[in-house]
């Protein structure tokens, strides 16, 4: 089992710890993010809550889960070691910057998880090495190794698709709720979307297949697709993703 430390104990750190703690790892977390840290210690008495310096000193693998804007200051003067592995889940901070802030630790991995990592089924993007992330989080989750830092940044931008789709579904179910009631609308739309996605779950181009299976000639679905294309949805979406990738 590994000695794992978490600097920054927000919701993402909490989800990773809840996946890892039942597997017998020795885990320490910082006071930063006190509410989540206390909840973890209460839930798993084996977890230790302590200072950032002590987390680093007592860990072989250190997860950096800070808000990007405070990372440089928070990591100053911590006792990193050359033999440590650093894993950062912070968006927008380069591997080069982390190597400087965490010197002499030179093994730095960038990782993109989502909160569903706690229960499994999460796509975890990593660069440059898949280990030790793969050993820690598979087989319950799936690790995707990308070829460069730019690819990782693109994946970070693509995570916003989830909130964009959620916004569309919320508006659509709200519209339906005005007609059949909010509870019935939420259940209908939720079951509709998850059920249709499951049909193509194991196929490549699953989203295009789903769209094309529904948007056949003469249907309401083809009318909606054509309307969205008519207002330039694809171009707008690509433009926004390009901006977020930067």
Mean pLDDT of 104-122: 95
Domain ranges of the chain: 3-146, 160-245
DSSP state of 174: H
- Mean pLDDT taken over the chain: 93
Which runs of consecutive H residues, i.e. helices, occur in the chain? 11-20, 34-43, 52-57, 68-74, 95-101, 133-137, 149-158, 160-180, 182-199, 206-214, 220-230, 233-245
DSSP state of 76: T
Q: For residue 41, which phi and psi values (nearest 5 degrees)? A: -65, -40
Give the tens place of pLDDT for each residue, 43-65. 999 999 999 999 999 999 999 99
pLDDT above 90 for 32: no
Instruction: Determine how β-strand 3-7 pairs with β-strand 26-30.
Output: parallel
Query: Rounded to an integer, what distance in angstroms lies between the CA atom of residue 153 and that of residue 179?
Result: 41
CATH code assigned to 3-146: 3.40.50.720
Copy the structure tokens of residue 25: 């790892």
Which is higher by pLDDT, 215 or 33?
215
């Amino acid at each position: 089992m590994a000695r794992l430390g978490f600097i920054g104990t927000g919701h993402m750190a909490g989800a990773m710890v809840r996946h890892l703690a039942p597997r017998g790892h020795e885990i320490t977390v910082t006071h930063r993010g006190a509410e989540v840290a206390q909840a973890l210690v209460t839930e798993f008495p084996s977890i230790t809550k302590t200072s950032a310096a002590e987390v680093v000193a007592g860990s072989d693998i250190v997860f950096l889960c800070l808000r990007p804007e405070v990372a440089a200051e928070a990591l100053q003067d911590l006792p990193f070691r050359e033999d440590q592995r650093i894993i950062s889940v912070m968006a927008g901070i380069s591997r080069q910057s982390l190597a400087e802030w965490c010197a002499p630790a030179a093994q730095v991995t960038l990782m993109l998880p989502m909160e569903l990592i706690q229960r499994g089924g999460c796509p975890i993007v990593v660069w440059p090495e898949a280990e030790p992330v793969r050993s820690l989080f598979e087989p319950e989750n799936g690790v995707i190794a990308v070829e460069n830092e730019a690819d990782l940044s693109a994946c970070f931008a693509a995570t916003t698709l989830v909130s964009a789709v959620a916004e569309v579904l919320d508006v659509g179910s709200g519209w339906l709720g005005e007609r059949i009631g909010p509870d019935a609308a939420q259940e209908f739309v939720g079951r509709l979307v998850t059920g249709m996605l499951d049909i193509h779950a194991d196929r490549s181009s699953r989203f295009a297949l789903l769209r094309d299976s529904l948007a056949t000639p003469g249907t309401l679905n083809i009318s909606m697709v054509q309307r969205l294309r008519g207002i330039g949805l694809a171009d707008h979406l690509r433009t926004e993703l390009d901006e977020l990738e930067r």
